[in-house]
């Protein structure tokens, strides 16, 4: 009885997380016509309609950080705060914002994962630790 009281909330939380992650679709690529950009291929659709801003941003960052270079994502959300903040967090995920399409029920952001950034090395300064 005691164990059920401890493990039941943990199990319910895991079911909720699993349900949210299963709402991402990788069933197949689809073509989307974007104004000003032409036709692009979308590799993965992320559906965050009905989610809060924080959940949308955290799961988007998690998925984009683990994505391969060159993939295009369609992120659907009805939360205006999330739609406004996602483009600002994309450079930290090595992604570029392609377009935002405003629909009646939700907004859709189109994001492309960039190639791996070059490793920057710091130039060696000519100064030494002591003054000569």
Per domain, the residue ranges of the chain are: 24-113
- 41 three-state secondary structure: strand
Q: Dihedrals φ, ψ of 68, to 5°? A: -80, 155
Q: Supply the pTM of this predicted model.
A: 0.68
Confidence of residue 88 (pLDDT cuts 50, 70, 90): very high
Give me the CATH code for the 24-113 domain, please: 3.30.110.40
- Check: CB of residue 56 under 8 Å from CB of residue 48: yes
Mean pLDDT value across the chain? 79
Proportion of the chain above pLDDT 70, given as a percent: 67
The residue with greater pLDDT, 99 or 5, is 99
- Taking only the tens place, the pLDDT of each residue in 6-22 is 555 565 455 455 545 54
What share of the chain has pLDDT > 90, as a percent? 48
Residue 29 burial (C-beta neighbours within 10 Å; 0-12, 13-18, 19+): exposed
Q: Which residue has the higher pLDDT, 102 or 129?
A: 102
What was the pLDDT predicted at 19? 47
């Amino acid at each position: 009885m005691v164990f059920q009281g401890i493990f039941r909330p943990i199990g319910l939380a895991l079911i909720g997380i699993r349900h949210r992650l299963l709402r991402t679709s990788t069933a197949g690529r689809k073509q989307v016509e974007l104004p000003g950009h032409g036709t692009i291929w979308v590799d993965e659709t992320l559906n965050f309609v009905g989610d809060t801003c924080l959940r949308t941003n955290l799961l988007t960052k998690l998925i984009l950080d683990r994505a391969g270079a060159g993939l295009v994502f369609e992120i659907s959300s009805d939360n205006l705060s999330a739609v406004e903040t996602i483009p600002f967090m994309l450079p930290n995920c090595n992604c570029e914002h392609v377009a935002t399409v405003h629909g009646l029920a939700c907004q859709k952001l189109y994001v492309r994962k960039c190639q791996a950034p070059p490793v920057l090395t710091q130039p060696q300064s000519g100064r030494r630790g002591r003054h000569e």
